[in-house]
């Protein structure tokens, strides 16, 4: 952030520290926030003729914010990425205005760029089952086959993120019927663990050649260290190629499949939100679009007048 004045750089670092400590933002989120807000602050300082202090922020209005968004789009940023950057900027401006005692409403009132939210791309139930079978069949060693199936079963059966599955430790053995997971933003949620998932993890744990200590990672790599998420992606990628599935058939697609299969079975959207650990129901509502698209496709194929 050498292009920022000491005052603006200090303000940004103070906000980032607060986000990390109080809101539980992940290191990756903090890095993205730092890049987005630093670029915004550099633009506004230059836009104000090189003014170095934080006082420039108190005079931001609609025109300054629109100029910033136009510059972001001009450098090739998509509407989605610009909206994400603006969300970070708004968070910073709210925090700074509370500290300095000015009204940030004129700057915060600017409209976010509109974009079409991408729908999740889940697998059909038979595709998910085939993926689990193929992940297991393609492994190099029997215990690794059991490991890969156990991880994939947790993603599909409990809607875990890869990072959440790999954060489990030996203390979690044997898996209970309901597991407490700490997800994004440090938010805790309780997720059911299906008998098939408990059995898959138990079979892996019994076959694993490395000691599974209470404090150590549950899922291990070939040499005994923590399993790298890239190896999970690689196992799913190999199975995907073997089955002829699209590139969207990733480990995260198993989590998407968990949600859409629950929705298709009649689960309440709020319940799915809780199970997935989404902070906002709007994020979960994307799955209703997937289900509607699926119903339209089925109707087009099956209706006698189609």
Beta bridge partners of 172: none
Burial track 30-59 (b if 16+ CB lie within 10 A, e otherwise): eeebbebbbbbbeebbebbeebeebebbbe
Burial bucket for residue 298 (CB in 10 Å: 0-12, 13-18, 19+): exposed
Q: Which of 34, 73, 184, 294 is catalytic?
A: 184
Q: Which of 25, 149, 161, 240 is catalytic?
A: 161
Task: Respond yes or no: is residue 84 known to be catalytic.
Answer: no
Q: Cα–Cα distance between 274 and 120 in angstroms, integer?
A: 18
Q: Which of 84, 198, 220, 255 is catalytic?
A: 255
Q: Cα–Cα distance between 171 and 174 in angstroms, integer?
A: 8
| Polymer length in residues for the chain | 306
The number of beta carbons lying within 10 Å of the beta carbon of residue 238 is 15
Task: Respond yes or no: is residue 3 known to be catalytic.
Answer: no
Give the phi and the psi of residue 41 in degrees, each rounded to 5.
Answer: -65, -40
Tokens 């993926």 identify what position? Answer: 131
Q: Cα–Cα distance between 283 and 78 in angstroms, integer?
A: 19
Q: Which of 34, 80, 252, 294 is catalytic?
A: 252
Tokens of 270: 């709020």
Beta bridge partners of 181: 189
Tokens of 148: 């890969």
Q: Cα–Cα distance between 104 and 137 in angstroms, integer?
A: 58
Task: Respond yes or no: is residue 234 known to be catalytic.
Answer: no
Task: Respond yes or no: is residue 161 known to be catalytic.
Answer: yes
Q: Cα–Cα distance between 105 and 243 in angstroms, integer?
A: 53
Tokens 């499949």 identify what position? Answer: 257
Task: Respond yes or no: is residue 184 known to be catalytic.
Answer: yes
Task: Respond yes or no: is residue 305 known to be catalytic.
Answer: no
User: What are the residue numbers of the active site?
Assistant: 161, 184, 252, 255, 278, 287
């Amino acid at each position: 952030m050498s292009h920022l004045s000491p005052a603006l750089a200090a303000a940004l670092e103070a906000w980032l520290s607060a986000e990390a400590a109080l809101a539980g933002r992940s290191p990756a989120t903090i890095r993205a926030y730092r890049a987005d807000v630093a670029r915004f602050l550099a633009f506004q300082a230059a836009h104000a003729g090189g003014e170095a202090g934080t006082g420039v922020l108190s005079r931001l209005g609609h025109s300054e914010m629109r100029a910033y968004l136009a510059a972001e789009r001009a450098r090739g940023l998509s509407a989605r990425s610009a909206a994400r950057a603006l969300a970070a900027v708004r968070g910073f401006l709210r925090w700074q205005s509370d500290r300095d005692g000015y009204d940030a409403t004129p700057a915060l009132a600017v409209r976010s760029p509109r974009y079409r939210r991408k729908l999740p791309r889940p697998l059909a139930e038979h595709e998910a089952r085939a993926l689990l079978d193929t992940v297991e069949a393609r492994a190099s060693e029997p215990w690794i086959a059991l490991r890969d199936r156990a991880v994939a079963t947790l993603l599909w059966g409990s809607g875990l993120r890869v990072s959440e599955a790999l954060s489990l430790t030996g203390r979690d053995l044997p898996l209970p019927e309901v597991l407490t997971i700490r997800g994004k933003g440090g938010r805790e949620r309780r997720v059911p663990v299906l008998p098939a998932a408990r059995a898959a993890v138990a079979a892996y744990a019994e076959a694993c050649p490395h000691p599974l200590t209470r404090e150590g990672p549950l899922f291990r790599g070939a040499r005994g260290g923590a399993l790298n998420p890239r190896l999970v992606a690689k196992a799913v990628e190999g199975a995907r190629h073997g089955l002829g599935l699209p590139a969207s058939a990733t480990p995260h697609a198993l989590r998407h499949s968990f949600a859409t299969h629950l929705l298709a079975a009649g689960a309440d959207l709020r319940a799915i939100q809780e199970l997935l650990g989404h902070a906002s129901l709007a994020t979960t509502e994307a799955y209703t679009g997937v289900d509607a698209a699926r119903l339209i496709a089925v109707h087009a194929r099956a209706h006698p007048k189609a």
